Structure 1
Amino acid sequence: MSSATAEGLSISDEESKYLIHSRTEIAFLLHGIMKHNALITVYFNGGSEFILTSIVGFDPANNGLLLDLGPDDDLNKRLAESKHLLITTTHERVKVKFSGTQATRVNYKGHAAFRVGVPQNLIRMQRREYYRIATSIVHPLKCRIMLPIDGVDLMAEVTVLDISCGGVALIDQHHSVDLEPGNSYAICHLALPDLGVIVTGLKVCNTYEVTLRNGLACKRSGCQFIGMQESDRNRVQRYITRLERDLHAIGGR
């Protein structure tokens, strides 16, 4: 099911829990996005077209948000003619999205820019599943996937590139598993150092080819955890927290 905000932003029931209405909080969030020069995607024409941009300033007199123009003049022209916009970005690894009405082309500090209205509300997805962290290169995390072959259950081992509480990115250097989008594996073993082995299902959501530094071509696959126990999800969170703490320790040296 879905609902809609006053500005016409179509959202799911799950997303509605993360809807922000406070003007102060919205302003603080948008200034943070601008400060970090976060990449912004503006979808228009029913989502069939988009430009990549960033926030360059604010226009308080017109309650406006100023966005840099895209590099394609034809796309910029069609964006200016579109009545409904969907704007998405990330802030501190959290997904943010809001809707906008027609973008007006203006001059800002001697440069052309788009002005859209500051949103009355926006979605900031604060779910921990969105936070992903790269695993250790020195001590790579391994995932063993059970493959029933000719009546025998065999375990294929792949490397975990990054992990979140919602899933993992896997790389199969030996092409031992058919990690194609839509494929599911009911039994997978994920051994977390000092936290034990987690048994979970995995569903492949996306896959693309990558070339490693040694020139070897292999698949990188984003997978979603299926049927994971909440206690195991908490262990994954503990592992992520430990990785993050170790990264901060290294950066602080």
Structure 2
Amino acid sequence: MQPFIPDADTENWHDFEVGSRREIIALLRKLSETRQTVRVAARDGGAVYVTSILEVDGDTDTVLLDRPAEQEHVLRLLTGEVSFETSLDKIRIFFGSEKLNPALQAGLPALKMAVPASLIRLQRREYYRMQTPLTNPVRVTIPLPPELGGSQAMFPLADISVGGIAILDNQFMLGDATGRDYHECRIELPDLGNVTTGLQIRNTHDITQLNSTTNRRLGCQFTDMGRGAAAAVQRYITKLERERNARINGLG
């Protein structure tokens, strides 16, 4: 099956398709080794669940995945096609499966799928996303319209790129906001000050964690952003990259 890309500009998605079985297995193994979070959703557009790749076996052509705690979530994922989204080294990766099956890994419940025949690896600069800190998170303040109370609300960021941000709306304050524009939003960038930009909500996903709590993640595109604000965002991304590289090299 073709990988499913829920929110990206997919006009030329085939330019980023990986069809080499050896390369696909290597990418999946690196995702497993680095314990990257993988978002999985039923193809019908249902809720999104968080999982991770436990094991990749090239001999049997199988991939083992961590299994959601709630049985109803497991059953939903076993009913048909599913889509996966994750990232590796700032590159977004999409793949799919026609069928998941129950399995065991080291005696513990897991899910099993075939190694995908292809995947999408989006390498364009606007899709390079850096995760923002979990402790002392970066926050954005969004002016709410009258129907949502007319005040301002503050949301933590999940990640940031030169093209937009992902925010966490764990209190579900924004409702079903896909396609809505918010103006004069203020992002507080540590050590760089505040930047003001418009945001357009491009997608929303309800993510069920392995502990069964549900969070809402909203992907937002920058709109009406001035050059100074865009430069500040790029400087902050560079700062995050330096800090990440320092940690990797044991210097931070």
Q: TM-score range by the shorter chain?
A: 0.5 to 0.7
* 1:52 matched residue in structure 2: 50
Q: Percent identity?
A: 31
* 2:251 matched residue in structure 1: 252
* 1:9 matched residue in structure 2: 3
CA distance in 2, matches of 1:235, 1:85: 38
* 2:122 matched residue in structure 1: 125
Give the 3-state SS of the residue equivalent to 1:62 in structure 2: coil
CA 1:20–1:235 in structure 2 vs 1: closer, same or farther (change >3 Å)?
A: farther
CA 1:241–1:115 in structure 2 vs 1: closer, same or farther (change >3 Å)?
A: same
* 1:86 matched residue in structure 2: 83
Query: Which gives a bigger RCO, structure 1 or 2 (Cα 8 Å, sep 6+)?
Result: 2
* 1:99 matched residue in structure 2: 96
The number of equivalent residue pairs is 214
Which of 200, 203, 219 is 2:199 aligned to? Answer: 203
Return the offset for 1:13.
1.3
Q: Higher mean Cα deviation, 41-50 or 233-242?
A: 233-242
Q: In the alignment, is the contact (CA less than 8 A) between 1:66 and 1:116 conserved in 2? A: yes
AA partner of residue 72 (structure 1): E
Please, which runs of 5 or more residues in structure 2 have no aligned partner?
143-153, 168-173, 205-217
Which of the pair is proportionally richer in strand? 1
CA 1:167–1:24 in structure 2 vs 1: closer, same or farther (change >3 Å)?
A: same
Please, which runs of 5 or more residues in structure 1 have no aligned partner?
1-6, 146-157, 171-178, 208-220
Which of 14, 23, 30 is 1:32 aligned to? Answer: 30
Give the 3-state SS of the residue equivalent to 2:23 in structure 1: helix
CA distance in 2, matches of 1:106, 1:134: 34
Within a 5 Å distance, the mapping from 1:1-253 to structure 2 comes to 7-11=1-5, 12-44=10-42, 46-80=44-78, 82-129=79-126, 130-132=128-130, 134=132, 163-167=160-164, 182-185=180-183, 202-205=198-201, 224-226=221-223, 236-238=233-235, 240-245=237-242, 248=245, 252=251
CA distance in 2, matches of 1:50, 1:236: 28
AA partner of residue 59 (structure 1): D
CA distance in 2, matches of 1:52, 1:247: 23
Return the offset for 1:72.
1.4
TM-score after normalising by structure 2: 0.60
CA distance in 2, matches of 1:84, 1:48: 11
CA distance in 1, matches of 2:43, 2:166: 32
AA partner of residue 9 (structure 1): P
CA distance in 2, matches of 1:9, 1:243: 29
CA 1:101–1:202 in structure 2 vs 1: closer, same or farther (change >3 Å)?
A: same
CA 1:122–1:230 in structure 2 vs 1: closer, same or farther (change >3 Å)?
A: farther
Structure of larger gyration radius: 1
CA 1:85–1:242 in structure 2 vs 1: closer, same or farther (change >3 Å)?
A: closer
CA distance in 1, matches of 2:105, 2:96: 22
Query: What are the Cα deviations for residues 213-253 of structure 1, in whole angstroms up to 9, with x where unaligned?
Result: xxxxxxxx975333558898577535532453366558616
CA distance in 2, matches of 1:169, 1:110: 36
Q: In the alignment, is the contact (CA less than 8 A) between 1:64 and 1:115 conserved in 2? A: yes
Give the 3-state SS of the residue equivalent to 1:65 in structure 2: strand
Return the offset for 1:14.
4.2
